[in-house]
Amino acid sequence: MTAERVDAVVIGAGPNGLSAAITLAEAGRDVVVCEAADTPGGAVRTEELTQPGFAHDTFSAVYPAGAASPVFARWPLGEHGLEWVHPEVAMAHPLPDGSAVALHRDPEATAASLDAQAPGDGRGWLDLVGPLLSACPALRRTLLSGWLPVRGPVGLLARLGVGRVLELARTALAPATVLADERFAARGSRAWLLGSVHHGDVPADEAGSAMTGLYLQLLGHAVGWPSPRGGAQSLTNALVGYLQSLGGQVRTATRAEAVISCQGRVAGVHTADGQQLRADVVVADTTPQAVLALAGEQALGWRYARALRRYRFGPGTVKIDWALDGPVPWRAPEARGAGTVHVGGLPEEILQASHTVRQGALPAQPFLLAGQQSLADPSRAPQGGHTFWAYTRVPRGLDWSSGANAFLDAIEAQIERFAPGFADVARARHVLLPPDFAARNANLSEGDVGTGTLALDQVAFRPVPTLAPYRTPLAGLYLGSAATFPGPAVHGVCGRAAARFALAESRLRWW
Ligand SMILES: Cc1cc2nc3c(=O)[nH]c(=O)nc-3n(C[C@H](O)[C@H](O)[C@H](O)COP(=O)(O)OP(=O)(O)OC[C@H]3O[C@@H](n4cnc5c(N)ncnc54)[C@H](O)[C@@H]3O)c2cc1C
C-alpha cells in the first residue's frame, strides 16, 4: 500500500465532483479526484458507441441548466475548449396529426407555435412567462444555488411582490396538468408542457410536477437548450483542464473503497488499487447509500445512516443511441431542426405511459426524450451521417435477461410513428438497459437520471431533511452529488456548495 498526503480528496469526477475540486483548488488546496471509471465526466461523456466517427453522448446531452449555471459561468471554461451550440429549435413536440409545437428561445416565436394549435394559447403562455423572465436572475439564484437559498427568494419578492411569488409557488407546486388546463385550450399545447415535465420522474398529474416543466421551458427562453460542440465530453474536458491549470489532479481507474476516519474526523480514503490518500477533507460525488458504504454506520451514526438508507431512487432508464445515414425524417417541420424532441403524442398518451411505469409495467407506447445534436454540430458524425438518441423511463427491478427486444421494438415503433422511414436511415444502434448504467457509473442506479427521485418531499430536502445537506456527521466528510440540493442536471452547483461548506468549516476549525 502506498500512502500520500493531500489537503482534500474528491470521490468521483462527475460535473459535481469536478466543481467541488475546482472550488477547493481555487482556494489553494492540494486536491486529488479519484474516479472509478477509465475516463472522467460521470454522466457527462462522449464515446463512439456505434461506429467509428459517430460521437455519441453516452448519458446526458443537452444542458439548459449548464448554460444557466452561475458556477460554470465563474470559470474560464471557454479557454479550455467549451463552446455552446444552439440548435435552430430548442425542443419540438410532434403530434399525431403531423403538426408540432416548438420551444424557441424567442417567447414570441414559441407563442406563435402554440397559437397554431389554438388561437390564444400563445397569449396564455406569454402572460405566464413574461413576468418570470424579467425575474430570471433571482429565479436562477433560487433554483441554481446551494441550500438554503436566501438571496434568490429575496430578489424574487423584490421583483415580483408577495402576491405574484405566492401565485408562482402555487403554480409550481401543483400538478402540471392543472397548469396546462389553465393556460391552454389545445391538447397539442398541453402535451408540449407535459412532455418537458417528464425530464423529471413525477407524473404530470401529481403535485409538484409543474415545477419541472415550467423551469425547463423558462430556461429555454432565458439561455436556450444548448450542447457543447463536439459532445458532452468537451464540457468535462474543460472542467478537467481548468482544474489541472489550478494544480488539481484527476486519477482515473481509481475507485474509492473506504473513507478512513479517526476520532470522529475524516482522515482520508483507501482506493481499490491499494493507495491510501490521507486528507482532512473528503467530498463524495456519490449516492447517499455509497457514502454510507464508504464511511460505515459507526462513523456516521445510526440516525444519519437510517436517513441515508431511506433515500429513494427514481425509475430506471432504457437508452438507445443510433448512427444514422441521414437526418430523422420527422413529419413535422419544427422537429427537423430541433435539438431535443419529445416523442409521445397527446396528453392522455403521455400520462398513460407514465402511469404504466408507476404500476411496474412497460408501456406499449413509451414516452421518449430524444436528441439529434449532430444537426447543429456536424462534427459529431462523418459527412452526411447523424447521431440520434432516445431514452425512456422504466420500472425498477425488472428482469432484463429476456424480453428486452420487444421493448426496444416498441421504442423504435414510437419514433417511426412520428418519423415514417426512420428504420431506413438507422444504420447501427447501441443499447443501455438498466443494469448497464450502474456498471458504467455507480451513481446511476438502474439508470435513474435524477440520482434520486424528484418527488416533492425529496426535492428540497436532499438527501436528508437538514439545513446543511452537504455535511455529514463525520467531520470533514461532505456529500456533493446530484443527491443534494438543487439536485440533478449538469450545473456543478451541488459540488461547489459542498466544497464551500468544507472550506468554511476548515477555516472555522483553524480559527
Ligand atoms: C441517461 C441520462 C441522461 C441525462 N440527460 C441529461 C441532460 O441531457 N441534461 C442534464 O443537465 N442532465 C442530464 N442527466 C442528469 C445528469 O447527467 C446528472 O444529474 C449529473 O451528471 C450528476 O452529476 P454528478 O457529478 O452528481 O454525478 P455523475 O455525473 O453520475 O458522476 C459521478 C461520478 O462518481 C464516480 N464514482 C462513484 N462512486 C465512486 C467511487 N466509489 N470511487 C470513485 N469514483 C466513484 C462515478 O464513476 C462517476 O464518474 C442525465 C442523466 C442520465 C443518466
Q: How far is CA 402 from CA 391, 405, 408, 411, 433, in A?
A: 19, 8, 12, 16, 11
Tell the CATH topology of 2-81+230-311+452-510: FAD/NAD(P)-binding domain (3.50.50)
Of 311, 312, 318, 370, give the one whose Cα is nearest residue 340.
370
Domain borders along the chain are 2-81+230-311+452-510, 106-215
Report whether residue 69 contacts ligand 1, using a CB cutoff of 6 Å. Answer: no
| Best of 49, 443, 481 for a ligand 1 pocket test (most atoms within 8 Å of beta carbon) | 443
139 in Cβ contact with 152 (< 8 Å): yes
Instruction: Note the pLDDT of residue 460.
Output: 87
Hunting for cell 409545437 — which residue is that? 101
Residue 76 carries which side chain, given as an amino acid letter?
A: P
Alpha helices in 301-361 (DSSP H): 302-309, 347-358
Among 313, 229, 234, 259, smallest CA distance to 488 is for 313
The amino acid at 33: V
Instruction: Return the sign of the alpha-carbon dihedral for residues 36, 495, 504, 251.
Output: positive
Would you call 316 helix, strand, or coil by DSSP?
strand
Q: Is there an atom of ligand 1 within 6 Å of 77 CB?
A: no
Q: Are 164 and 127 in contact (CB under 8 A)?
A: no
For residue 262, how many other CB atoms are within 10 A of its CB?
Answer: 9
Q: Is the CB of 59 under 6 A from ligand 1?
A: yes
Ligand 1 centroid, distance to 304 Cα (angstroms):
24
Alpha helices in 419-473 (DSSP H): 422-425, 434-440, 456-459
> Distance between CA atoms of 391 and 256, rounded to whole angstroms?
30
Q: Ligand 1 in contact with 16 (CB < 6 A)?
A: yes
Note the pLDDT tens digit of each residue in 5-42.
999 999 999 999 999 999 999 999 999 999 999 999 99
* Minimum CA distance residue for ligand 1 atom 46: 441
CB-based contacts of 31: which residues, under 8 Å, 6+ apart? 6, 7, 8, 9, 10, 21, 24, 25, 243, 247, 248, 249
Low-confidence spans in the chain with pLDDT less than 70 = 511
52 CB-near residues (< 8 Å, 6+ apart): none
User: 3-class secondary structure for 371-403?
Assistant: ECHHHCCHHHCCCCCEEEEEEEEECCCCCCCCC
Residue 12's pLDDT is what?
98
The answer to whether the beta carbons of residues 238 and 19 sit under 8 Å apart is no
Entry field: residues in the chain: 511
d(CA 19, CA 240): 9
Pairing assessment for the beta strands 281-284 and 338-343 based on DSSP bridges: unpaired
The DSSP-derived string for 322-333 is EEESS----SSG
- Ligand 1: nearest atom to the Cα of 37: 47
Torsion of CA 377, 380, 384, 385, to 10 degrees: -130
CB count in 10 Å sphere of residue 247: 11
| Cβ pair 338, 110 in contact under 8 A | no
Task: List residues bridging with 342 in a β-sheet.
Answer: 369
Q: Residue 80's CB: how many other CB atoms inside 10 A?
A: 18
Residue 53: how many other CB atoms lie within 10 Å: 13
Q: Judging by DSSP bridges, how do beta strands 31-34 and 8-11 pair with one another? A: parallel
Could you identify the residue written with the cell 462534427?
379
Q: Given this model, what pLDDT does residue 511 score?
A: 67
pLDDT digits (tens, 9 = 90+) for 224-253: 999 999 999 999 999 999 999 999 999 999
Give the C-alpha separation, 478 to 495, whole Å.
9
Which positions ≥6 away from 435 have C-beta within 8 Å?
400, 446
256 lines ligand 1 (CB under 6 A): yes
The reported pLDDT for the residue numbered 1 is 74
The Cα 132–Cα 186 span in angstroms is 23
C-alpha to C-alpha distance for 90 and 337, rounded to whole angstroms = 9
* CB 353 less than 6 A from any atom of ligand 1: no
Evaluate whether 363 touches 357 at the Cβ level (below 8 Å).
Answer: yes
pTM of the predicted model, to two decimals? 0.98
Q: Which amino acid residue places its CA nearest to atom 10 of ligand 1?
A: 489
In Å, the largest CA–CA distance within the chain is 71
pLDDT computed for residue 466 by the predictor: 93
Chain centroid to CA 355: 22
Task: Please report the pLDDT score of residue 359 as a whole number.
Answer: 96
State the distance from the centre of ligand 1 to the C-alpha of 12, rounded, in angstroms: 9
3-state secondary structure 21-55: HHHHHHCCCCEEEECCCCCCCCCCCEECCCCCCCC
From 449, 454, 478, 496, mutation site for ligand 1 pocket: most ligand atoms within 8 A of C-beta: 449
The C-alpha cell at 335 is 422537429
CA 244 centroid distance within chain: 25
15 lines ligand 1 (CB under 6 A): yes
3-class secondary structure, 99 = coil
